[in-house]
Amino acid sequence: MIAVERPTRNLSLDLLRSTEAAALAASRWVGLGNKNDADQAAVDAMRLLLSTIPMRARVVIGEGEKDKAPMLYNGEELGSGEGPEVDIAVDPIEGTRLAASGQPGAISVIAAAERGGLFDPGPAFYAAKIVVGPEAKEAIDLTARPKENLRAIAKALGKQVRELTVFVLDKPRHARLIDQIRMAGARVSLYTDGDVAGALAAVLPDTGIDVLMGTGGTPEGVLAAVAVKALGGGMQMRLDPQSEEEHWSLAHHGYDIHRVYTLDELCPAEETHFAATGITEGPFLRGVRYRQHRAITHSLVIRGHTRTLRYIESHHHLDKLRALSGDLY
């Protein structure tokens, strides 16, 4: 007789409430040009909801250290004090500049894993990454040239290199990478911010993105790794300091900047949870939309243990929310 595993509580759905709250709070600041106030609103809303969830959570990747924004700080204890012990990684607004300027692609993100189940990036702010979907996960090699990776990815996907589209952050550091991708024959899709969203786009079907390449935030890389692993994709990451100070700090703390981290090293846990809610319109999540007395949010939720992916549209009654939570919304 085959043993049947009994269903357990899905923490992902509890975490979803925190990204919805952060997205709703941040949406009040969309297009107003003040990214710090938007971030503060999202942090306050996310922290409030996280404090109610039955878990004993520790923040291992927090908010604000790189750009001195308001924080859900590393080491902060969250949750009701009951339930499972988990480590969490948060980004109340991924793409604060996008939200502040009213541009597409800003999202609110959280990931959780059993205690010890997330890579600790320490003082690393930046890392080189490559992310692909399940069909190409065995084809990537971060030590190889972009041209070699693109050929291998195209073969795995049954495409020509010229049919590939590569997500790259539009930063000066990527000038050479962009030239290499185009010389290989692939298309480049440039984004000013949002490499968690870029990693999701590379793994999810029908987004128009086949692969993410380039250097982005290390904390965002760990957040993305949770979703990529849960969805069966492929990812590799190498620390890539962008200043002498960061380089020195990594050496001082014993990090090897030449080491390529695998997906299982970035996220060794199997029991993982990931939630993201759109703040502004994006390629796979809609932004917060307002109707009379209500707001509509669009989110995705992933549970690693079952590999269940849910898209959830929620309708929030604003008067009720404000009665319960004050002026957050």
CB 50 within 8 A of CB 23: no
Q: Which residues are annotated binding-site positions? A: 39, 63, 91, 94-96, 126, 171-173, 193-195, 217, 220
With H, G, I as helix, E, B as strand and everything else as coil, classify residue 284. Answer: coil
* E-assigned strand segments in 36-195: 56-61, 77-78, 85-94, 107-114, 126-132, 165-169, 187-191
CB 196 within 8 A of CB 276: yes
* E-assigned strand segments in the chain: 56-61, 77-78, 85-94, 107-114, 126-132, 165-169, 187-191, 211-217, 234-239, 261-262, 272-278, 289-291, 294-303, 308-317
113 — phi, psi (to 5°)? -150, 160
Closest CA to 204 of 212, 194, 215: 212
In angstroms and rounded to an integer, the radius of gyration of the C-alpha atoms of the chain is 19
Q: Which residues are annotated binding-site positions for substrate? A: 94-96, 126, 171-173, 193-195, 217
Q: Which residues are annotated binding-site positions for Mn(2+)? A: 39, 63, 91, 94, 220
188 — phi, psi (to 5°)? -110, 135
CB 157 within 8 A of CB 248: no
Distance CA 72, CA 109 (A): 13
